[in-house]
Amino acid sequence: MDKARIVEVGPRDGLQNEKGVIPLATKVELVQRLAESGLSTIEAGAFVSPKWVPQMADTAAVLATLDLGGPVHYPVLVPNDWGLDAALEAGVREIAVFGAASEAFSQKNINATISESLKRFESVMHRAQQAGIRVRGYVSCVVGCPYEGEVAPRKVAEVAAELHAMGCYEVSLGDTIGVGTPRQVQAMLEAVMRTVPVERLAGHFHDTYGMAVANIHAAYAAGVRTFDASVAGLGGCPYAQGASGNVATEDVAYLLHGLGVETGIDLSRLVATAWFIADALGRAPASRVAHALGRPA
């Protein structure tokens, strides 16, 4: 039986983009429920400035409740050396860094060229490797950019190759504004796979235009076996009008199971988790599967 891995990004990429700040206890219960649903990698937070991202201010407190040496991986996003210090102190085994495939997005988002932004990670990468910590790399805007429009596959391939060469064990390719369709995703992946082995790639799709599941299927057909997703479709991109967030983990699991692919996920537990966090945020889950299977009795 074929296998695929879902990287749950709801507690970080999801909650970071939700308006409300949820209590620590709720966040801890969310992460626990996700682990109990069978997810083996759960992005648990970010060591970023609480001034800019108050939703992540309690990352150290969340990590303190987790078994960081156990079978489940809990990566955290780290933008700089200060973030790495905090991650090391918390005892994490994995961090994530990020770059964009669009110059305009990089400039507007972090006020640096793509090349400058990757250079800033050199010291983080070096220190993480010395400490035996795995590093995951994100590339944003791999299909389209809110400022530049279409992004050239060649550009994505360059940035992905650079992150891989710097030592990232996996490069996650993000359609940050969710504009891609399968044809563009295929073309982008063909370019990237010439520079990074497909086993080192992950697909990160947002469902803004309802294309995420089709894009994941296209990426799966191209050989990708790791997908980022966010329970209940948590989060969203602030740059796209009316944007919905990451593709929902339960929709991805439903797709993969329907394709005969093993994920290790217990779908009914996952759907219960989607309702749990949606209730905590005072809204309905953004996924079709959570509604189709319904609120747990």
The footprint of its own copies (CB under 8 A) covers 178, 180-184, 207-211, 213-214, 216-218, 240-244, 248, 251, 254-255, 258-260, 287-289, 291-294
DSSP run (H or E) holding 132: none
Which DSSP letter does residue 204 get?
Answer: E
**Residue 237 annotated in active site:** yes
| Nearest approach, Cβ of residue 156 and its own copies (Å) | 17
Cα distances from 270 to residues 5, 95, 157, 261, in angstroms, run: 15, 24, 34, 17
| Catalytic option among 141, 145, 168, 237 | 237
Tokens of 144: 């389209």
The secondary structure of 270-286, three-state, reads HHHHHHHHHHHHCCCCC
| Nearest approach, Cβ of residue 240 and its own copies (Å) | 6
- Residue nearer to its own copies on the CB measure, 38 or 182: 182
- Residue nearer to its own copies on the CB measure, 102 or 208: 208
Tokens of 133: 């910590």
| Nearest approach, Cβ of residue 285 and its own copies (Å) | 10
Q: Is 257 helix (H, G, I), strand (E, B) or coil?
A: helix
| Nearest approach, Cβ of residue 162 and its own copies (Å) | 28
Spatial distance between the Cα atoms of 284 and 166, rounded to a whole number of angstroms: 41
Active-site residues: which are they? 237
